[in-house]
Amino acid sequence: MPLVFYRPHKVPCRLCGNGFERRESAADTRLSHCHKCGQAVTPLLPDSVSSPQSARKPSIREAKAAGFTVLKKISSGEYEKQ
Ligand SMILES: [Zn+2]
């Protein structure tokens, strides 16, 4: 059963802080409101929590572009000196 993290719309919540976790099966209906304070909550699925955008792999094109830029600068600089 996946662990779903619920984040209240206004954080920190006086009753549930930055949110709460709930272990639920596929048959369970998602909560739409905090069961403690009653405000609307957003479910964050494990997938979206464990792969933040900063940890995203750069695409091959991006990596190549960065590598080519560095090599190009070095080689052109050396060529000009000779
Ligand atoms: Zn709450």
Question: Per-residue pLDDT for 65 more than 60?
Answer: yes
Find where tokens 């619920």 sit: 6
Q: How far is the CA of 8 from the centre of ligand 1 (A)?
A: 6
Q: By the 8 A CB rule, do 24 and 4 touch? A: yes
Question: Per-residue pLDDT for 11 more than 80?
Answer: yes
Question: Per-residue pLDDT for 70 more than 50?
Answer: no
Q: How far is the CA of 29 from the centre of ligand 1 (A)?
A: 18
Question: Per-residue pLDDT for 81 more than 60?
Answer: yes
Q: How far is the CA of 13 from the centre of ligand 1 (A)?
A: 5
Mean pLDDT, all residues of the chain: 77
Which residues hold their Cβ within 5 A of ligand 1, which is an ion? 8, 13, 15-16, 34, 36-37
User: Which position has the higher pLDDT, 54 or 28?
Assistant: 28
Q: pLDDT tens digits, residue range 34-49? A: 989 999 999 987 665 5
The total number of residues shown for the chain amounts to 82
